[in-house]
Structure 1
């Protein structure tokens, strides 16, 4: 098969997994054969310990978007597991999908599990009220 046909048939995929804390996003993302990123990864230290800092949340999302763009530029499929409570929060990823001609899939997790980052029930309830389908 000619190389140009092989390249044309190879398509990138960007999968966004959204849901409230404890809905199963990270667990599902780990099942994909793709580069996996989450804004929460920004808060992991070298030992893998999670140290959340609300003042750095914008930096965390910027880091996540840059990781995704780098992976797409390297022709890697990518899965992103973030809460994406408001629809506008996916906009940057939709732009990246268009830029790199990647198929975009959005999956909503609605499970009820223990959340791995200790998000309080009050915070989750507040997020639930702001949720946009």
Structure 2
């Protein structure tokens, strides 16, 4: 993918604002931009770089949607989000027990959200004809 298909802080804030989800530009770190680019590029692996303006815009919009998703859900794809047992729900002093609020299901979901394209990004790419799913005919 060429460098013109890399979302910038400005393209992400513009997209987020147009979608009614304005972001503080300080929330859009170079690490998030890079992670979103890598996810979209990986999803589109094996496909030629889009030349159609609508499809090129969809690639940028998908990156923006991914960053908005991460920032609004509080997920940092560079942190160890799969580590369970970090949020204490309750503790008992004399019994020595501790219960954690982040269950295995929750941490698995957060890990998946950190390493996979969000549903909106997938839909944006699919609407532009950039889905990597193939149609299978059975029978």
The answer to whether TM tops 0.5 is no
Q: State TM-score, norm by structure 2.
A: 0.27
Higher helix share: 2
| Larger-Rg structure | 2
Higher strand share: 1
